[in-house]
Structure 1
Amino acid sequence: MPLSTAANAFRLPAGSAGRVITATDSDYDKLRTVMYGGPDRRPASIIRVANAADIATAIAYARDNQLELAIRSGGHSGAGHSTTEGGLVIDVRDLDEIDIDAANRTVWVGAGVTAMELTEALAPHQLIVGFGDAGTVGISGITLGGGVGYLARKHGLSIDSLLAVELVTADGQQLLADAANHPELFWALRGGGGNFGVVTRLKFQLHPLPAFTGGMLVLPATAKTIAGFVAAAKAAPEELSGIANIMPAPPMPFLPAEQHGKMVILAMLAFAGEPDAAEKALAPFRALGTPLADFVKPGPYASMYPPEDPDYHPTAAALNLLVDRIGTPEAETILGYLEESDASLRVCQIRVLGGALGRVAPSATAYAHRKSPIMINVAAFYDGEADKPKKEAWAADFAKALNQGDDGVYVNFVADEGPARVRAAYPGDTWDRLRQVKRAYDPENLFRLNQNIPPA
């Protein structure tokens, strides 16, 4: 039976609340679309699962018919792993339950819930769990890769708040993985990505957030202000985390017209604590230069997630790297590469890490880059496939110029870059240990549309 015919023949069990969508359905194109604009794949069937039993049925069918299997939540995979050409997509977006235990500061949450949805549900309880910087990202995908977000210096990665995971494995078993049950699998799920099964629910430890201050601060970008920003972020209390985007100023209406196109630091700053303490922590950043815009103020944590256009699907060449320092020489390199590019949008994104993230032992989870103090992403948008190689070469040269000998990467920011880059996400014994877990739970590598860890 041809692949597409086999995939089209899939049916859910009678009585299932789930749904199978194919190209004949009116919402097929909407449901197959993912966040990034590169992949334009046409799965034979999209399965909007309602429960673990639906997932087990789909897994068995894909295995028996040798079909490529993609798992989709928020659809933010930079490599396009959320979709497939001609295979099956298990779409977990209808697994959207949120069960908050405010007294014990825990929450069970479905794998299809987004960061914004969970953040807003927790806000009335003044509780939080940190994810990334996009509200539409699926909490399951970002968590499985680690989860570097605004609260990382205060509360660690998303996986550092993860207490348990329910999932369906390649043989159809429905498992609970936590510190007591399948502990080696639980270790691997905390950073090892989607290699080990289809997650249905996650349990998180919640953290109190009675007060919050955050928002955008825009400063002129010079070598001095860039190096000063990084120094201030390193010296800041752990309650403060942020992202500095070094880039040409977009034509935003709140920026003076004469600044459009000039290099700026477009920073998102987040402080978990009382307003007075926030103002003191933010003062060194505001003192770097006269702000071009300052929207940092007390308010809800959800305000850190900017509005997203569902019809916006960017295409960018990007690379991630980890470094030890950004002083004046590195800042001059950053400005030089950004100035020379003709990309409509190009950026060097800097995140100072450390704090609670760095106090976890590298071997405690599958995210092993605990001691790397700074994360960088370089990116340039490209216009069409013909422009892509030029922008990829620029990003590669830029990353090479900034490399300081740490070849590690954050797996959630790796695109379709080949096995060596996946290997770089898991240094030393972490890789060998992950391969053993993969062998135990997915020996045939059914779950391979991911940053793949081959079974030992």
Structure 2
Amino acid sequence: MTIQHTPTLDLAHLREQVTGDVLTPDDDGYDDARRLAYGGLDPRPAVIVRVRDADDVRAALAFARETGLEVAVRSGGHSSVGYGTSAGGLVVDVRGLTGLEVDPVRRVAWAGAGVTTGEYTAAVAPHGLATGFGDMGTVGLSGITLSGGVGLLARKHGLTIDSLLAAEVVTADGRVLTVDAEHHPDLFWGLRGGGGNLGVVTRLQLRLHDVRSFLGGLLVLPATAPVVAGVVDLALRAPRELTVIASVMPCPPMPFLPPEAHGRPVVLATVAWAGDPDEGRRVVDGLRALGTPVADLVAPQPYAALFPQMPAPPDPAPSALGRTLLRDSVDEATAGQVLDWIAASPGPMRVVQVRVLGGAVADVPPDATAYAHRDAPMMLNVASMYTDPGDRAAVHVAVTAMADRLRQGRPGAYVAFLGDEGPDGVRAAYPGGTWDRLAALKRRYDPENVFHLNQNVPPA
């Protein structure tokens, strides 16, 4: 259905059914509501429903069924291919679901699906507690959780899904279910890593972890092949209290970085040590010894300091292309390939990011959740941003070629970082029996594939 059909929709009836806002192209605030985190996409949904509870979601889905409108679910809006919206369709916008209840004694929290990771982390920080998410505070809680959640507490406390205790979800047929290990355990399994394939999550119950003893921050080192390989090797061998996300990239013009370093290749490492600070300092000193730091902000500080308030994105927002893969190691030869690519690749900002895994991530059996790559030592992401649409083809070729060069024969992908790879990419994220089990769940909970604007697993 296209935007020209909007006048025939019975929007008065929809507005009577929901307590949240219903926006069309004629309404104030529509353009702000449809804006995504990345540029290069200019979708114009027929209707945006800013839901305020699960009943609003039910009403929005019922309206979509009655009218034949395609359904998209919007949270943080960070999908690089725009899965949080639909041209001419209906967007269920959950960003208004911002309720947050924290029980510091039991160390659990109920959070609305529209809470961002930064808001959640700041809210629980006064209790000395945290749940591990990614490394960016603007990401929507539901999106990163349903994908798995590979973040700065991963080696100590596992993925975000390993801290997910329960969820409230609205299914395609309008049922509102509270799922956990005992209630609808099959659906609970699928929500933990299955992306947005199985329903609209409106609330999540998450376990909180003690992070009162924490050491972390940014460590920026000059990027040479020995330094890059050394950072990855040390992070792999370190105690599980250490998690490192290392980005090899041209030095960005951040105010705390010296101007003479801007544009030069660096390793921008986000370091997180969740444990005894004295031992943490000894381990981090090993990273520091790999090269003379360009900047060293690693210090005892609250975990929440790693999720600062982010400025509003530029307008127009830059476009991004990325590829994700799993690896066993990064040696100096591989690091040299990365540095050659950083130097020669088109795009104003390009990066090869290494997320070191293991530890608590690998403690969980591979079939316990829909995230199946528990034995992967590390995840690599090759990405580039650009502002001129005319550059997209060259950037696409460069990013894809580099990702292919870095593959070691280990299959797999992380669903949250997939772009436009299509069905093959989704199958890589969900190998073997994981795919079969998700497809069977899809047949049970969404047989008509209403929720297909995602890295889609069709019904079996």
CA distance in 2, matches of 1:8, 1:79: 30
Query: Could you say what secondary structure the match of 2:115 adopts?
Result: coil
Check whether the contact 1:3–1:67 (CA below 8 A) recurs between aligned residues.
no
CA distance in 1, matches of 2:303, 2:312: 22
> Match of 1:349?
353
Query: Could you say what secondary structure the match of 2:389 adopts?
Result: coil
> Match of 2:200?
198
Question: Structure 2 vs 1, CA of residues 63 and 419 (structure 1 numbering), >3 Å: closer, same or farther?
Answer: same
Question: Structure 2 vs 1, CA of residues 60 and 16 (structure 1 numbering), >3 Å: closer, same or farther?
Answer: closer
Q: What is the alpha-carbon root mean square deviation over aligned residues?
A: 1.5
Query: Could you say what secondary structure the match of 1:191 adopts?
Result: coil
CA distance in 2, matches of 1:260, 1:16: 50
Check whether the contact 2:14–2:63 (CA below 8 A) recurs between aligned residues.
no
Check whether the contact 2:121–2:307 (CA below 8 A) recurs between aligned residues.
no
In the TM superposition, what whole-angstrom CA distance separates every residue of 1:33-72 from its partner, at most 9, and x where no partner exists?
1111122111111111111111111101111221111111
CA distance in 2, matches of 1:286, 1:82: 40
Deviation at 1:13, TM superposition (A): 5.7
1:438 to 442, 453, 459: 442
Check whether the contact 2:80–2:320 (CA below 8 A) recurs between aligned residues.
no
Deviation at 1:248, TM superposition (A): 1.4
Check whether the contact 1:6–1:65 (CA below 8 A) recurs between aligned residues.
no
Instruction: Check if 1:376 corresponds to 2:356.
Output: no
Query: Could you say what secondary structure the match of 2:372 adopts?
Result: coil
Structure 1 segment 5-404 matched on structure 2, within 5 A:
5-6=7-8, 9=11, 11-12=13-14, 14=16, 16-312=18-314, 313-404=317-408
CA distance in 2, matches of 1:301, 1:10: 47
Deviation at 1:127, TM superposition (A): 1.2
TM-score of the aligned structures, taking structure 1 as reference length: 0.97
1:408 to 405, 409, 412: 412
Query: Could you say what secondary structure the match of 2:79 adopts?
Result: coil
Deviation at 1:306, TM superposition (A): 4.1
CA distance in 2, matches of 1:338, 1:432: 38
Instruction: Check if 1:426 corresponds to 2:433.
Output: no
Check whether the contact 2:222–2:293 (CA below 8 A) recurs between aligned residues.
yes
In the TM superposition, what whole-angstrom CA distance separates every residue of 1:239-262 from its partner, at most 9, and x where no partner exists?
111211111112334333332222
Deviates more, 1:323-332 or 1:203-212: 203-212
Deviates more, 1:59-68 or 1:376-385: 376-385
Residue 318 of structure 1 aligns to which amino acid in structure 2?
G
Q: Percent identity?
A: 54
1:450 to 448, 451, 454: 454
CA distance in 1, matches of 2:104, 2:65: 40
CA distance in 2, matches of 1:347, 1:13: 45
CA distance in 1, matches of 2:286, 2:367: 35
Question: Structure 2 vs 1, CA of residues 383 and 118 (structure 1 numbering), >3 Å: closer, same or farther?
Answer: closer
Deviates more, 1:300-309 or 1:205-214: 300-309
Query: Could you say what secondary structure the match of 1:103 adopts?
Result: coil
Deviates more, 1:351-360 or 1:98-107: 98-107
Deviation at 1:383, TM superposition (A): 3.1
Check whether the contact 1:3–1:87 (CA below 8 A) recurs between aligned residues.
no
Aligned residues: 456
Deviates more, 1:367-376 or 1:98-107: 98-107
CA distance in 2, matches of 1:194, 1:358: 24
CA distance in 2, matches of 1:161, 1:210: 18
Query: Could you say what secondary structure the match of 2:72 adopts?
Result: strand
Check whether the contact 1:13–1:54 (CA below 8 A) recurs between aligned residues.
no
Residue 197 of structure 1 aligns to which amino acid in structure 2?
G
Residue 450 of structure 1 aligns to which amino acid in structure 2?
N
Question: Structure 2 vs 1, CA of residues 402 and 7 (structure 1 numbering), >3 Å: closer, same or farther?
Answer: farther
Deviation at 1:10, TM superposition (A): 6.2
Question: Structure 2 vs 1, CA of residues 291 and 388 (structure 1 numbering), >3 Å: closer, same or farther?
Answer: same
Query: Could you say what secondary structure the match of 2:110 adopts?
Result: strand
Residue 89 of structure 1 aligns to which amino acid in structure 2?
V
Check whether the contact 2:215–2:301 (CA below 8 A) recurs between aligned residues.
yes
Question: Structure 2 vs 1, CA of residues 322 and 449 (structure 1 numbering), >3 Å: closer, same or farther?
Answer: same
CA distance in 1, matches of 2:234, 2:251: 22
Query: Could you say what secondary structure the match of 1:39 adopts?
Result: coil
Residue 395 of structure 1 aligns to which amino acid in structure 2?
V
Check whether the contact 2:71–2:91 (CA below 8 A) recurs between aligned residues.
yes
Query: Could you say what secondary structure the match of 1:94 adopts?
Result: coil
TM-score of the aligned structures, taking structure 2 as reference length: 0.96
Deviation at 1:277, TM superposition (A): 2.5
In the TM superposition, what whole-angstrom CA distance separates every residue of 1:225-277 from its partner, at most 9, and x where no partner exists?
01110111012111111211111112334333332222111111111124323
Deviation at 1:113, TM superposition (A): 0.6
Check whether the contact 1:110–1:202 (CA below 8 A) recurs between aligned residues.
yes
Question: Structure 2 vs 1, CA of residues 8 and 345 (structure 1 numbering), >3 Å: closer, same or farther?
Answer: farther
Deviation at 1:6, TM superposition (A): 4.8
Check whether the contact 1:343–1:380 (CA below 8 A) recurs between aligned residues.
yes
CA distance in 1, matches of 2:142, 2:343: 37
